[in-house]
Amino acid sequence: MRILTVSPFFLPESIGGVELHVDGVARALQSMGHEISVFARGGEPERAEYEEWLTEQSGLAVHRVNYNFRDCDRFEKLTLNRKIGNLFHDELLRRRPEVVHAHHFTCLSTDIVEWCRDEHVPLVVTLHDFWLGCPKGQRIREDLDRCDKVEFERCGPCLHAFWPHLFPEGEAGRATYEDYRRRVDQVLTGATLLVTPSEFHRQRYIEDFGVSPDRIRAVENGLPVERFKESRSQADWVRFGFVGTVIPSKGVHVLVDAFRGLDESLPAVLEIHGPAQPFGSIQDYGERLARRIGPDPRVQLHGRYENESLPRLLADLDVVVVPSLWYESFCLTIREAFLAGCAVVVSDLGAMAEAVKPEVEGLRFPPGNVTALRETLRRLIEDRDLLRRLQEAPKRVRSIEENARELLALYESVSS
């Protein structure tokens, strides 16, 4: 089968959960004898806007279009860029795929949906986050208040604060927002099939955006399970860890406050791994965390890590804490922790709650509740039998090959 994969970010230029997932599925399908190509955005500052180039990455053809938003003068262009859409159409005609699988449209263009329809090519769209419905992707405001509803009264002021040069205030803002929602509806109804990585995420699009249940499937992402076979190190103290992007919506400050409130005599440390990145107008979150931690030697901010080092990093932790304040749509970190033999502590929210059976596979706490999280951490320090039981409990994590086979079955169903 000829499959054209669309992803705004791709290896090796960008390394993240979605990029690793897309690459893993592509490689798995390729090993099954299918012809896979990738249409991706490039973000090289020295190249001209819309410059194209083709690379071959271990037999995988990757066609990139450079775009750095230099001509983005209105909000509409964040979702609809006709120049990129036309370049995708050219690629569609060159490759003549039997199915297109789009993993995101940010930095690209949603008229990819229209071109697939016009050329009668089935289109599968995976909704990896809330970008269709929330242009910021996470349905959480800068003040960290989650958005249970998606409506102009809440979204308009938030979008203007985030993009004041693109999203107007007042009635002009309302008109801009309504145009955006129409575009979202066109994508959600225009795709042949929608996919989400969790049932929670699927339900959000059914209930909040009116997607017909028979047009959207929950397909859990797979992982390269053989990577996480490092022998675990041992210590006399409990090693708690956060692994991922260090931004406010991930709740790292909640974890820091909870841990620092523990009695210093308790045998425990906290290791925070990941790059601190801007979050709206909050440009200094990493510095804020460092000030919050102060001189406490029990807490270490390690910064960015290389993906290759992740199995060893996890093998040196006892407990991985996922204190996110947004819903999460899948949470790769939980599965990686499972594979590495770590216990997990997660916010009792969204796809995180769906992924963890409480008291069996891990522990949950009310999102954002510092006191409850602190008591959960204390419990694991003082009850080593519980810690060991959570670490050793059997947990089911799908392989990337299983994931690829399920997606292939969907491709065949929509292209037959």
- pLDDT band for 139, please (50, 70, 90 cuts): very high
**pLDDT at 296 exceeding the cut of 90:** yes
Please report the pLDDT score of residue 313 as a whole number: 97
**pLDDT at 29 exceeding the cut of 90:** yes
Q: In this predicted model, what pLDDT tens digit does every residue of 150-160 receive, in sequence order?
A: 999 999 999 99
**pLDDT at 15 exceeding the cut of 90:** no
**pLDDT at 126 exceeding the cut of 90:** yes
Please report the pLDDT score of residue 243 as a whole number: 97
Q: If you ran DSSP here, which 8-state letter would residue 167 be given?
A: S
Q: Residue for token digits 């329809």?
A: 117
Contact present, 348 and 366 (Cβ < 8 Å)? yes
How far apart (Å, rounded) are the C-alpha atoms in residues 316 and 228? 12
**pLDDT at 12 exceeding the cut of 90:** no
What is the residue-averaged pLDDT of the chain? 96
How far apart (Å, rounded) are the C-alpha atoms in residues 154 and 160? 11
CATH class assigned to 2-222+399-415:
alpha beta
pTM: 0.95
**pLDDT at 246 exceeding the cut of 90:** yes
Q: In this predicted model, what pLDDT tens digit does every residue of 197-228 receive, in sequence order?
A: 999 999 999 999 999 999 999 999 999 999 99
How many residues are there in the chain? 416
Element (H, E) at 270: strand 268-273
- pLDDT band for 257, please (50, 70, 90 cuts): very high
225-392 falls under which CATH superfamily?
A: Glycogen Phosphorylase B; (3.40.50.2000)
| Amino acid at residue number 17 | G
- With a CB cutoff of 8 Å and minimum separation 6, the contacts of 272 are 241, 242, 246, 252, 255, 256, 289, 299, 300, 301, 302
**pLDDT at 58 exceeding the cut of 90:** no
Integer angstrom CA distances of residue 263 from 18, 252, 290, 338: 39, 19, 20, 28
Please report the pLDDT score of residue 283 as a whole number: 93
Q: In this predicted model, what pLDDT tens digit does every residue of 339-374 receive, in sequence order?
A: 999 999 999 999 999 999 999 999 999 999 999 999
For the segment 149-177, the average pLDDT, to the nearest whole number, is 95
| Amino acid at residue number 1 | M
Integer angstrom CA distances of residue 228 from 54, 307, 338, 339, 397: 33, 12, 9, 6, 12
- With a CB cutoff of 8 Å and minimum separation 6, the contacts of 357 are none
DSSP string covering 97-152? -SEEEES--TTS-TTHHHHHHHTT--EEEE--SSTTT-TTSSSB-TT--B-SS--H
Query: Do 2-222+399-415 and 225-392 share a fold?
Result: yes
Domain spans of the chain, in order of start: 2-222+399-415, 225-392
Q: N- to C-terminal Cα distance for the chain?
A: 12
Please report the pLDDT score of residue 16 as a whole number: 81
Please report the pLDDT score of residue 13 as a whole number: 86
How far apart (Å, rounded) are the C-alpha atoms in residues 1 and 36? 8
Q: In this predicted model, what pLDDT tens digit does every residue of 85-101 receive, in sequence order?
A: 999 999 999 999 999 99
How far apart (Å, rounded) are the C-alpha atoms in residues 366 and 146? 14
